[in-house]
A and B are shown apart, each in its own frame.
Chain A
Amino acid sequence: MADQRAKSVLLDIRNLRIEATVFPPGEPPKNIVLVHDVSLTLEKGKVLGLIGESGAGKSTIGLASMGYGRGGVRITGGEVILNGRDILKGGKEGFRKLRGREVCYVAQSAAAAFNPAHRLMDQVVEATLLHGTATRAAAEKRAVALFKKLSLPNPESIGERFPHQVSGGQLQRVMTAMALCSEPDLIVFDEPTTALDVTTQIDVLAAIKDAIRDTHVAALYITHDLAVVAQVSDEIMVLRHGRLVEWGGTRQIIKEPRQEYTNALVSVHEIEHQEQKPGTTPFLSVKNITAAYGRSHIKVLKNVSVDIYPGQTLAVVGESGSGKSTLARAITGLLPPEEGTVTFDGRPLANRLADRPKEDLRQLQMIYQMADVAMNPRQTVGTIIGRPLEFYFGLRGRQRDARVAELLDKIEMGKGFIDRYPAELSGGQKQRVCIARSLAAKPKLIICDEVTSALDPLVANGILKLLLELQKEENVAYLFITHDLATVKSIADSIAVMYRGEVVRYGAKSQVLAPPFDAYTDLLLSSVPEMEIGWLEKAIKGRRMASAGN
């Protein structure tokens, strides 16, 4: 039995150790270990999911199976045995022969991973031609067959297009075809659906799964989303800080996790928030807003109306391009609407940011998705949080410092962080500092634009919990913009679903999330991966039935 397994093993990684040199600001360079003694085996035709938060080392391990290290990353120990030979002993020449032939890579953002200067077909067949495994005609024929298998539109002619002429979801499929084209033994999928909208993700996921099954290729499937990996993999390996946490069959990992950390990953998103009944009068009303960028006549917002009540959360949910961030820009005055009004405390707000008095500015604060670019890297945390205190309240010196310390306590960080720079904080801490900065103005409304999207699930959970607690203490309202329905479920009081610039569904959370649904909300809700084996097939089947019924 053991012998049989040994024969069918494709990839055998033994005691892999990966290091990198980092250059912390103001300190001498130092060596850090990214992966500590990780071992794994993968049989031919099987899919192993590598899961963990950022910094867990999953991409690093995936790339190590191709002998590749990003930036200054070095493999300093262990063996990577592929098809029975240690690839680390092959040198540069050996790596080149292996890459694109035995192992192929599918990147997170196909939009960035395709060269904008070349046609898709030339890039898809490039590796095959390079390694001389097929003639150009044969390779192109194979590519077209793969485009068909991955249900790309116009499979015969899509290869003639340039990357910018194809949508993100389609590019991700073309990239999968590119990886499959040279008929490799192993494909490394590195978060292949993470950058996609949820309704696109489900189709791409299904296409990838079918392609893996039909071509009998083995795969390392890297993701931070356990629900996604549960759909495609046979086994799952949980990693944390470059160390193996747990490795087992997919069913065992999601149903009976043995490690506490795995359990935390499985049960993430279990924040309970009791929906509050809307008060009698909203303090902020958006009435029939229409907006466009520049002089274009394409309306990004069409006749949008929503109300926000004191101390409550309105979640605005939708895919990229649905106009949710534009709504925030219209409310804050960054993008003056062409029609419609924003009423605050019973009086209209000036359309343009520049025309608003300081007091109105203070009442509306924003937190952004990218905390690290929303802070001046050359200012300390104390300066960053202290700035609105000076600007709005004229606090100086000791008074100001005391209030900064108080705010740091509120975000559960403490005044030890006052002299730190943003670069010295983790992603979650940076977002907390941004929250403190917005709270410093004592606003009535904080607009949160995808504030947890760039964070790992557990860290994001912490931020959501903090936001809910602060809401109770400070009675601040949130306009919470997100594409993530699970987040919406956990924190919203009311929900607005946006699609192509319009609010297609709006109301209290319990109403919006209860049937009967409109077509788009139904599609959106049914596309959110659930941590359940076989969910993908069920969801796709449900969709086909729905579209057959139409």
Chain B
Amino acid sequence: MSSPIMKLVAQRIALGILLLLAVSVLIFAGTQILPGDVAQAILGQSATPESLANLREQLGLNDPAFIRYFRWLGGVVTGDLGTAMSSGQDIAASMKGRLWNTLFLAFWAAVVAVPLAIVLGLIAVRYRNGWVDKLISGLALASTSFPEFFIGYVLVYFFAVKYQIFPGISTVYDGMPFGERMQAIMLPAAALTLVVLAHMMRMTRAAILNVMQSAYVETAELKGLSAFAVIRRHAFPNAIAPIINVVMLNLAYLIVGVVVVEVIFVYPGMGQYLVDHVTKRDVPVVQAVGLIFAAVYISLNIIADIAAIVANPRLRHPK
């Protein structure tokens, strides 16, 4: 790897860390603005002023906000995300399994959705403006236009209720055999795939079509290459940067945006965890989940940026 690339990559990573810090400040500040504090929440309505004051002293709530922020941040950096108020459990410990579940679901949805979207995009370009293109675009757009919960319930109705091929409730537990686990996540993974497919497919199509106008594509056609070879060998490598970008955005969505799908299928992932604790007004959990989501989002976007940099031959092979 040459030095200009390393420099750009280092820049992106530094920017990402800075951004994450900024987000942590926002999350912390956001939860501070809410009325009431942790002591109030723990002791409830009937708390006496004395017990409140005692607990505040005990929890260090009387310190200035920035000290509390750094205490919290210090905990996060060392892996201590704090304690959930509602259950008194360690957040990091209870989140571990759920984060794993969410990543597992997102991974399998991505394994299906990304290649499918790109291949459909390539096919749409090959038969552009013909009926194949219109059919692909139409179906993909339709599947995106329906809200996730609708798609989710339609899938449940057909595959769980009517034909009973897959379970309608995606219960997973530790030590569950892989095969059963896969069967359990089939419907939520399908719902997620349908939701993210169109965006990636449309972007792939647009990015490649953009490149199809260039002179080197004409050169390739004039060499006698078949239409697919032209797209695959000459157009696709030059359209890769925008495609990676949209793929990463959608991967981020698969992890961060699964809330609705997880709730529908009662899947024990991060989204459900978040929703549960929002209803319980469990601020430390909401903070922790928010921060994890932000970290996922930012890192995926950094990866997209870096991939786009590495994909550029001008940067990879400087003069």
Contacts and interface: CB of A to CB of B under 8 A. Distances in A.
Nearest to B220: A115
Interface in B199-237: 214-216, 218-226, 229, 233-234, 237
A299 interface: no
A101 B224 contact: yes
B219 A105 contact: yes
Interface string A63-87: 1001010100000000000000000
B91 to A, nearest CB: 46
Interface in B37-90: none
A17 B174 CA distance: 74
A127 B221 CA distance: 10
Interface string A100-115: 1100110101001111
Given A96-B226, A162-B317, A165-B317, A68 B219 contact: no
A453 B221 CA distance: 30
Given A113-B216, A162-B317, A105 B224 contact: no
Contact of A117 (B215, B223, B226, B238): B238
B128 to A, nearest CB: 13
A541 B319 CA distance: 33
Interface residues of B, number: 21
Nearest to B240: A117
B315 to A, nearest CB: 10
B317 A115 contact: no
Q: Per DSSP, are chain B's interface residues mostly helix, strand or loop, or mixed?
A: helix
Contacts of A126: 220, 223, 225
A70 B219 CA distance: 12
B224 A114 contact: no
Contacts of A130: 223-225, 229
A116 B241 CA distance: 13
A129 to B, nearest CB: 10
B30 interface: no
Nearest to A96: B224
Contacts of B215: 107, 109, 112-113
B7 interface: no
Contacts of B218: 70, 107, 113
Identify which of A98, A101, A162 gathers the most chain B CB atoms within 10 Å of its CB: A162
B313 interface: yes
A130 B229 CA distance: 10
Nearest to B214: A112
A379 to B, nearest CB: 27
Nearest to A117: B237
A70 B221 CA distance: 11
B162 interface: no
B294 to A, nearest CB: 34
A68 B222 contact: yes
B308 to A, nearest CB: 13
Interface in B292-319: 313-314, 317, 319
A161 B221 CA distance: 22
Nearest to A175: B219
Contacts of A70: 218
A112 B216 contact: yes
Contacts of B223: 99-100, 104, 126-127, 130
A481 B30 CA distance: 60
B214 A164 contact: no
B237 A100 contact: no
Nearest to B311: A117
A97 B222 CA distance: 10
A95 interface: yes
Given A162-B313, A164-B314, A68 B221 contact: yes
A123 B226 CA distance: 15
Contacts of A104: 222-223
A367 B233 CA distance: 42
Nearest to A111: B215
A118 interface: yes
A131 interface: yes
Contacts of A96: 224-226
A165 to B, nearest CB: 5
Contacts of A98: 224
A545 B215 CA distance: 39
A175 B8 CA distance: 33
A100 B314 contact: no
A105 B314 CA distance: 26
A99 B224 contact: yes
Contacts of B214: 112
Contact of A100 (B224, B234, B313): B224
Contacts of B319: 164-165
Interface in A138-167: 161-162, 164-165
A128 to B, nearest CB: 9
Contacts of A105: 219, 222
A63 B222 CA distance: 9
Interface in A433-465: none
Contacts of A63: 222
Contacts of B225: 96, 100, 126, 130
A6 to B, nearest CB: 28
Identify which of A66, A68, A113 gathers the most chain B CB atoms within 10 Å of its CB: A113
Interface of A: 63, 66, 68, 70, 95-101, 104-105, 107, 109, 112-118, 123, 126-127, 130-131, 161-162, 164-165
8 contacts: A107-B219, A109-B215, A118-B233, A118-B234, A130-B223, A130-B225, A162-B313, A165-B319
A-B residue pairs, 4 tightest by C-beta: A100-B223, A99-B224, A112-B215, A117-B237
Given A112-B214, A126-B220, 6 more contacts: A70-B218, A99-B223, A104-B222, A127-B223, A130-B223, A130-B229
